[in-house]
A and B are shown apart, each in its own frame.
Chain A
């Protein structure tokens, strides 16, 4: 199991272009395919991962590893998702490849970036709707939408720090739900 966790997150780490939320889609597909974590549990994990500092993707890996095989599982998953980045950055730094000025690389990122955007949009839709048994017009859904809209306003208009928004949303959740 440990080895399997390690391998799955190595795979995720290798293709985790765009970092963070784009990777959530990768992890969700991978984990759902293995039947490790069900949708409701995954949502809870994502909420916890969002509360901690650092990359939400790495935090999710830690929590999934922990839920599957305890402390060692968490270590295996975390090392797995980080190792490919570490190795690739070392290779790039050591070889002095000036990636940004290479035309082929520029064209590749020109095509890759919209895909990453797509992955993030899908993550928003997926986490917004999945794991909900109630209908779209329920009180709970209205509450989620309300908090969501409130957070967007706070961050964009009043430049509130994301962590502050998360704390406020927790309070709002207690009031509403």
Chain B
């Protein structure tokens, strides 16, 4: 009994260590991290196989939240139950948490420095460009026909011109999706609900920055 507990603790500790290492390398975030995880978990440690990686991508893509955190939760849970999931998520978040803190302290110290302010302005412009890029990529995999084009356009218009809370949009999207698919099928039309798998697979190994 005592032996299993020690082994369990060791496993949890291992999970924590691996994700602590992956955490700071999630620069570029989300899907870029999947390649790192694949190398660390599948190739190096053989904790999971390729098929489980597929499950992981599917689960972490459909749950709310960032892909990085969701992947950590998935792997942690598969390996060490709830405790493993908590360890993995904590480990992947912790380094970033402290880096954010450090940056925040530095920014307070140099707040009135004109050069730092200028640098932050430059970074702001860079962040905008990364958001545009993310929007463009998301557009390619989500706007598949006229119906989805109308949904995307109405979401932007509603956000710009009304004070609507995004919650209603996120609730309305799936309802509209189900309604449109049912309607189109009743008319005997074929609906492509997602981009082809092959394209999605290729996209995964491409550094993305929207999670």
Contact = CB atoms under 8 A, between A and B. Distances in A.
A35 interface: no
- The secondary structure that dominates the A interface is helix
Interface string A140-177: 10011111110110011000011101101111111011
A127 to B, nearest CB: 6
A177 B92 CA distance: 36
A111 B174 contact: yes
Interface of A: 11, 13-22, 24-26, 29, 43-44, 46-59, 62-63, 66, 74, 78, 81-82, 84-86, 88-90, 92-94, 98-100, 104-125, 127-128, 140, 143-149, 151-152, 155-156, 161-163, 165-166, 168-174, 176-177
B152 A118 contact: yes
A119 B169 contact: yes
B166 A119 contact: yes
Q: How large is the interface on B (under 10, 10 to 19, 20 to 34, 35 or more residues)?
A: 35 or more
A127 B62 contact: no
Contacts, number: 356
A12 to B, nearest CB: 9
B129 A84 contact: no
Interface of B: 23-30, 58-60, 62-70, 73-74, 77-78, 82, 85-86, 89, 92-93, 95-97, 99-101, 103-104, 107, 115, 117-135, 138-139, 141-144, 148-149, 151-156, 159-160, 165-167, 169-170, 172-182, 191, 193-194, 207, 209-211
